[in-house]
Copies of this chain bind each other. A is one copy, B any other.
């Protein structure tokens, strides 16, 4: 008689995270947080609060980063990230990441960094011109350290972040080839299939500084006000006029949140043939948003009562992250033969 046992593949590893430059908003929620809550049950998940990366272009305002670590932690817990299965950690408190970055910087040329399209775009967006901070210029390499330190198989990203994964893959291949080892793992991009949510002003990019975002921590009153002020179809002046759905942020938000898909399809048709006012559509959006966000906000308020306990989540997660990163770093140093004083080191006199 044969005995069948289920073959359990080792759990795949995910690394994902955010720069703590502000509280998280609906863009983060739709594009990534919502998915993370599912993925954490399927994958060993590490979530990095990338404070050191945020400092690369906010060196003059570390206070903003410090304050937002708690905000981001609250957002994570409120949406349902479960710290008993997911490791949430603070980048700058895992010193191994800085050391890995240093070794990887030797495997990447300056001209390769200059060609990185994401960095190019961001340099333009931030208006750095010739005065890019060197740390910002090097951040794709620091990201490679974040990803590889946890031997991540998968990194959830949007299309625009693909060059970062490519850069990491190149570093992994160079490292494993030069040091003749298989210590580092090539990550794969887990592409988000959700289209990017526009700002409430209809502009492409959501940004807290543009004031066009709904944050996860916004109160119902604030949400009501923001929905009321949302950009719609500027040509849809009278209720009886036909309106345009495409490029209309109210419908983009309904697409992302309305669970009643049939009702939404009908509403779109009605709007397009005329006779449906913006106020009605916005009322529906508000209803849908409050249904989704109210439980999140309630949980957030609950967690916010004990910030010390919330910070302990990050502190514990950071301890775990440090252990994992230290294991990887030890293997990296061993592969490079620079593990001078470790018990099983290649001795210096060889």
Chain A residues within CB distance 8 Å of chain B: 51-52, 55-57, 59-60, 62-63, 65-67, 69-70, 90, 92-93, 95-96, 98-99, 101-103, 105-113, 130-138, 141-142, 178-179, 307, 311, 315, 333, 336-338, 340-341, 346-350
Query: Is B134's CB under 8 angstroms from A105's CB?
Result: yes
- Closest Cβ of chain B to A311, distance in Å, is 6
* CB neighbours of A63 from chain B (8 A): 337
* CB contact between A109 and one of B55, B133, B347 (< 8 Å): that residue: B133
- Closest Cβ of chain B to A218, distance in Å, is 19
* CB neighbours of A56 from chain B (8 A): 105-106
Query: Is A95's CB under 8 angstroms from B98's CB?
Result: yes
Query: Is A105's CB under 8 angstroms from B338's CB?
Result: no
Main secondary structure of the interface of A (DSSP, over half): helix
Across the A-B interface, the 7 shortest Cβ-Cβ residue pairs: A105-B135, A106-B135, A59-B106, A98-B98, A307-B349, A105-B134, A98-B99
Query: Is B66's CB under 8 angstroms from A346's CB?
Result: yes
- Closest Cβ of chain B to A204, distance in Å, is 27
Query: What are 12 A-B contacts defined by CB distance under 8 Å?
Result: A59-B107, A66-B348, A67-B350, A93-B341, A98-B98, A103-B135, A105-B134, A106-B136, A111-B130, A112-B134, A311-B340, A311-B341
* CB neighbours of A110 from chain B (8 A): 130-134, 137
Query: Is A55's CB under 8 angstroms from B136's CB?
Result: no
Query: Is A62's CB under 8 angstroms from B337's CB?
Result: yes
* CB neighbours of A65 from chain B (8 A): 338
* CB contact between A135 and one of B51, B96, B102, B349 (< 8 Å): that residue: B102
* CB contact between A90 and one of B55, B98, B138, B340 (< 8 Å): that residue: B340
Q: How far is the CA of A340 from the CA of B70 in the complex (A)?
A: 10
Given known contacts A109-B131, A133-B107, A134-B108, A340 and B66 CB-to-CB distance under 8 angstroms: yes
Q: How far is the CA of A101 from the CA of B109 in the complex (A)?
A: 18
Query: Is A70's CB under 8 angstroms from B349's CB?
Result: yes
Residue of B nearest to A96 (CB): B95
- Closest Cβ of chain B to A62, distance in Å, is 5
* CB neighbours of A60 from chain B (8 A): 178
- Closest Cβ of chain B to A330, distance in Å, is 12
- Closest Cβ of chain B to A156, distance in Å, is 25
Query: Is B69's CB under 8 angstroms from A348's CB?
Result: yes
Query: Is A130's CB under 8 angstroms from B106's CB?
Result: no
* CB contact between A132 and one of B93, B101, B109, B179 (< 8 Å): that residue: B109
